[in-house]
Amino acid sequence: MKKFKFLEHTADVKFRAYGRDIEALYANSAYAMFASMYKGEIKKSKKIKIKVKGKDFESLLYNFLEEFLILLDTEGFFLSNIRKLKLDRNKHKIEAEAIGDNVKNYEANLNVKAVTYNDMFVRREGKKWVSQVVLDV
């Protein structure tokens, strides 16, 4: 199964991500966001632990992706892989280990300013999970 696909949008970047479970969905959503900025392979030279909370699945996804944008802006962290992702569905919390490299080692082709709630959803469709996100660029 494809992890994500980009959809047409007039001014911003819109994508749908997929996962066999909700943990894979959140990881694939983060991969899609970084794939919008850079199409190549990212080295795995740095590890960062991430912890975020939300009030529902959408706000949790928003906060999860926003945390990566904050790390990109403040530490130059460019995501390659996510490991040990644990999602507590009852408390809407995520803990994960993110692996990546310094953005200075890459020529990013797009600057994502923010994650938006516009057209956002996280839902189960049959046996898979699906999210949709619009990124302000």
Paired strand residues for 32: none
Do 36 and 135 meet the contact criterion of CB atoms below 8 Å apart? yes
pLDDT in tens, 71-123: 999 999 999 999 999 999 999 999 999 999 999 999 988 899 999 999 999 99
How many other C-beta atoms lie within 10 A of the C-beta of residue 7? 12
**Which pTM value belongs to this model?**
0.96
Query: Domains of the chain: which residue ranges?
Result: 4-136
pLDDT in tens, 20-63: 999 999 999 999 999 999 999 999 999 999 999 999 999 999 99
Topology adopted by domain 4-136: Archease, Possible Chaperone; Chain: A; domain 1 (3.55.10)
Q: Using DSSP bridges, classify how beta strands 128-136 and 13-19 pair: parallel, antiparallel or unpaired.
A: antiparallel
Say how far apart CA 22 and CA 82 lie, in whole Å: 14
The confidence score (pLDDT) of residue 2 equals: 62
The confidence score (pLDDT) of residue 19 equals: 97
Q: Which amino acid is at 72?
A: L
Tokens of 79: 């995501």
